[in-house]
Amino acid sequence: MTTGTVMQLLGEGDSYQAIEYLHSQGTALRVMSAYDESARHAYWKEKDLGAVVVLARAGIQFGLESGQALEGVDAAMAAEVKGKAKALAYNLASFAWPGWDEPDIEISARDVELGLDAARVNLRLAGQLGRGTEPIFWRPDMRKGARLWPGPLLLLVFVAGARA
């Protein structure tokens, strides 16, 4: 799997062609890893938040559906796949935060709303998977707190709505 192929399909084909390609990468864990790698590549290398949104949301959906399908078969694998979906949701929420002020990344109000949705998914999955859901500022390991993104993103959505 190459991220170059995914980006080419997004640019020259259609998003569903890229998604079909990602789904052809093998096991659910391999597919989730391909989504993660592609979304991070789209953000950090291509500076294309639109591609990140498409890839992350499709990957989260795939992870949720695959995890659910695996629950009765292999609970540990189901949790691992859902954990990958949680990570994608966290990254999407983070990438949609304009406070980073990343060069060449343009973040629209809609991107912030989608980031908030992803933050909520991340928080819900943290609870389901038994991972920390307490506020991030109270945790010694600040990188894993699921409550980091909903608050700031919700504030941005509220402020943008107040301006409209």
pLDDT in tens, 6-16: 999 999 999 99
| Alpha helix ranges (H) inside the chain | 3-12, 15-23, 28-44, 49-70, 75-95, 109-128, 150-163
Chain centre to alpha carbon of residue 12: 23
Record the pTM.
0.84
Tens digits of residue pLDDT in 117-147: 898 898 889 889 988 655 444 344 444 444 4
